Amino acid sequence: MRHVRVRLKARPSQYEIIIGEGTLRALGEVARRSLPSTARHLAIISNERVFGLYGQAAIGSLRAAGFAPQSWLMNEGERHKNLRSLGRALEFLSEAGLERSDGVVALGGGVVGDLAGLASSLYLRGLPFLQVPTTLLAQIDASVGGKTAVNLSAGKNLAGTFQQPRAVIIDTHTLETLPRRELAAGWCEAVKQGAAGSRPLFDQTYRFLREQREETLPRASAARRTAAQLEGLIAAQCAFKARVVMGDEREEIGRTDHLSRRILNFGHTTAHALEAVTRYKRFRHGEAVGYGMLVAGQVSVGLGLLDPSELELLRDAIGLCGPLPRADDLDEQAIRSALAHDKKSTGGHVKWVLLERLGRARIVDERDIAPRLLRASLRAAFSRRLSRT
């Protein structure tokens, strides 16, 4: 079992991320030491699929620690991360009779975590909450750092708060039931974190993915070794995310340096455009980030910032995450028009996260990227090499 500590200026001033196989069994004990001592009622927010797999383990552990847990299951999927589900979640917290010293437990992927986090920050003006992320993406990214949100009709994550959890409990065992595509999407985000801010993390992620692909050991020993390496890699990913968050808790608007939280949006400008033009139906978010990193990488090479050999290594790493849905048949003009509407724009201009090298990002204003370079980068990045078809 591994521990990563997040220290913050805002309250809670610090929290623990616990990573390991079977940590769900320790949920009650962790809740006991990280929630107010008077806490008794705990509201679990999850969905049917995840609760069916892990709900009883969570409830058993909480009961054994003296809590009275109740659960509410939201509909599954990104399209339900909306104001209607948020309203229902708040009504549930009220019907469950939660008091300010009680708590909320998010059990699921990033959709559940974002919505439960937001509900917990609004109900009674803020209840303590715990994250129990069950997808790779949520374990290395969404559950760490306190961003909560729901989507509005105008776009993703437009209504949200910063609400740091009291603890994050990551049970790597839950990844065994995760569909392959969800894993691939999570790995793309793992590659992103290394590429944007830490070369050693990029290398560790790349090595893990390559060894998994080339595994030659007998099954049992390979599984044991992989489990230990996976735990170490998730801990390293969390420690990286925590470090960035600790340096820029609320993603200050004026910051454009290579340590700002904004670097975590590497690949996201194009990813949001890809998701929008395909009406959120073709790509998992992480898959779209896979292509988005390549577009940003191509632009970086075109501007003379990044060495082409580093772009090749990035492409290799993304290829190891798993096959992506095709992107070479999409309307380029529609993508460029969606790119111009990225919500991360400041003062009306999109800020691109580019690379100076693997592990070091540079924020660049869209006006410094010639339209011809952008068009060529989109075409090069969307080639069929990475796609399933």
3-state SS, 127-157, equals CCEEEEECCHHHHHHHCCCCEEEEEECCEEE
**Spatial CB neighbours of 178, under 8 Å, sequence gap ≥ 6:** 134, 135, 136, 186
Residue 108 or 292 with smaller CB distance to ligand NAD:
108
> What is the number of the residue whose Cβ is closest to ligand NAD?
110
- Using CB under 6 A as the binding rule, the residues of this chain from 134 to 163 that contact ligand GLY are 141, 145, 147
Binding site for ligand NAD (CB under 6 A): 47, 49-50, 53, 76, 78, 81, 108-112, 114, 134-135, 137-138, 141-142, 145, 147, 156-157, 174, 177-178, 182, 185, 285
Tell me, by CB under 6 A, how many residues bind ligand GLY.
6
Q: 50 touches which of ligand NAD, ligand GLY, none (CB within 5 to 8 A by kind)?
A: ligand NAD
- Min separation Cβ 147 and ligand GLY, Å: 5
- Using CB under 6 A as the binding rule, the residues of this chain from 256 to 275 that contact ligand GLY are 261, 264
Cα angle, residue 175 at apex, residues 210 and 227 outer, rounded to 5°: 55
Residue 251 or 328 with smaller CB distance to ligand GLY:
251
Q: Inter-axis angle of helices 83-95 and 110-122, to 10 degrees? A: 60
Tell me the catalytic residues: 125, 147, 189, 241, 251, 261, 265, 268, 272, 285
Positive or negative: CA dihedral 70, 74, 77, 83: negative
What token pair was written down for 229? 């390496």
Q: 56 touches which of ligand GLY, ligand NAD, none (CB within 5 to 8 A by kind)?
A: none
| DSSP secondary structure code for residue 70 in this structure | E
- Min separation Cβ 174 and ligand NAD, Å: 4
Measured between its terminal Cα atoms, the distance across the chain in Å is 40
State yes or no: residue 62 binds ligand GLY (CB under 6 A): no
Q: 134 touches which of ligand NAD, ligand GLY, none (CB within 5 to 8 A by kind)?
A: ligand NAD
Q: Token match 């058993």: residue? A: 60
- Measured CA to CA, the distance from residue 368 to residue 389 in angstroms comes to 34
Strand 103-108 and strand 68-74: pairing? unpaired
| DSSP secondary structure code for residue 382 in this structure | T
- Measured CA to CA, the distance from residue 127 to residue 102 in angstroms comes to 7
For residues 235 to 254, the per-residue mask of contacts with ligand GLY, x marking binding by CB under 6 A and - elsewhere, is ----------------x---
Q: 26 touches which of ligand NAD, ligand GLY, none (CB within 5 to 8 A by kind)?
A: none
How many residues are listed for the chain in this entry? Answer: 389
- Min separation Cβ 76 and ligand NAD, Å: 5
Residue 47 or 85 with smaller CB distance to ligand NAD:
47
Residue 145 or 302 with smaller CB distance to ligand NAD:
145
The most distant pair of C-alpha atoms in the chain lies apart, rounded to whole Å, by 63
**Spatial CB neighbours of 202, under 8 Å, sequence gap ≥ 6:** 191, 194, 195, 317, 358, 359
Q: 166 touches which of ligand NAD, ligand GLY, none (CB within 5 to 8 A by kind)?
A: none
Q: 261 touches which of ligand NAD, ligand GLY, none (CB within 5 to 8 A by kind)?
A: ligand GLY
- Min separation Cβ 323 and ligand NAD, Å: 17
Enumerate binding residues for ligand GLY (CB under 6 A).
141, 145, 147, 251, 261, 264
